[in-house]
Amino acid sequence: MSIHSFIDALPKVELHVHLVGSASVPTVLELSRRHPGSGVPTTEEELRAFYVFRDFTDFAAVYQAVNALVREPEDVATLVTGLAGDLAGQNGRYAEVTVTPYAHHVAGMPMRAVTEALDIAARSSFDEHGVRIGYIFDIPGECGAEAARVTLDHALQEPPQALVAFGLAGIEQERVRHRDAFRDAFRAATAAGLHSVPHAGEMTGPETVWEVVGHLGAERIGHGISCLDDPRLVAHLREAQIPLDVCPTSNVCTGQVARIAEHPLPRLLGEGLFVTLNSDDPPMFATTLTGEYRIAADVFGLDRAALAALARNAVTASYLGSAAKRDLLAEIDALA
């Protein structure tokens, strides 16, 4: 079996993927045809051209355009099942999908309707595609304290059944300005049983990783790759075995890493850190979860044992139930 066939056959778990950023061309076509006149192309050819990025500004523009197509709870459900269908084609079995309820709130959707759509979509993702779905609700940090309040209210008052964790994205500046609001929201969310999975150390240095570990009770970190600039932090993450959601292609597309060959994946692994591979906003970054495993093999020379270890890490770091984890780990072991 070639290494690519081995990767195709690996049962996969995706821990870091944003709902709107996961929208592939067929899904966006469905939305743009549902909401004509939005400015987003309604033919496949034009849409594929629209999805070609030159830089981060392009990415942000496309992300906003797709986000603007998400107007009704039905659109939210379409995104979830679209993602599940894409993952099923890659032998993906489970995804923890980051949803930003504040964006749906701003679009005027009532929280109960959003929750119903997420519940229905999680069920049909499993029934139609065999892909289990968990949800992470994240605060868009750039929207400040109001976003923290709305996200927490939704998580506590009308959580979807599959809600497993609470996250935070956004820029460092805002994290500092609204530190107390985020800290209070995470305290309440984790007290309610949600896991803490904030972004940190992606576009900012190791200090944001310290901050989320110290103040937000981070159990898993979105990206975290800048930890390598601080040996004391590397030692802490290694000893505590706090998983990092590593997204190589995303880091190149957002300009955090100049070229894929310069990505610190090998150094993170060499330091004994707990690494999982993820796709972040896959169609917008022209990647897939399988594509990230291929990069690990083709660019960094990881062998089957190392690739299987990454697949196992994603299962272990997930918030799946213990029986489902055991089954998936057994499948990976049987293949490796």
Least Å from the CB of residue 281 to Zn ion: 7
Closer by beta carbon to Zn ion, 32 or else 256: 256
Nearest residue to 18 (alpha-carbon basis) of 88, 76, 105: 76
Least Å from the CB of residue 278 to Zn ion: 8
b (16+ CB within 10 A) / e for 120-143: bbbeebbeebebbbbbbbbbbbeb
Collect all residues with Cβ–Cβ distance below 8 Å to 119 and sequence separation of at least 6. Answer: 160, 161, 162
Residue type at 299? Answer: V
* Catalytic site residue from 202, 211, 219, 292: 202
Q: How far is CA 12 from the centre of its chain?
A: 14
Collect all residues with Cβ–Cβ distance below 8 Å to 62 and sequence separation of at least 6. Answer: 50, 51, 53, 284
Clarify whether 211 is annotated catalytic. no
Closer by beta carbon to Zn ion, 75 or else 280: 280
Least Å from the CB of residue 180 to Zn ion: 23
Interacting residues with Zn ion between 255 and 294 (CB under 5 A): 280
Interacting residues with Zn ion between 206 and 235 (CB under 5 A): none
Residue type at 249? Answer: T
Closer by beta carbon to Zn ion, 29 or else 104: 104
- Please tell me the distance from the alpha carbon of residue 71 to that of residue 77, in angstroms, as a whole number: 11
Least Å from the CB of residue 18 to Zn ion: 6
Catalytic residues: 202
Q: Contact positions toward Zn ion, by CB under 5 A? A: 280
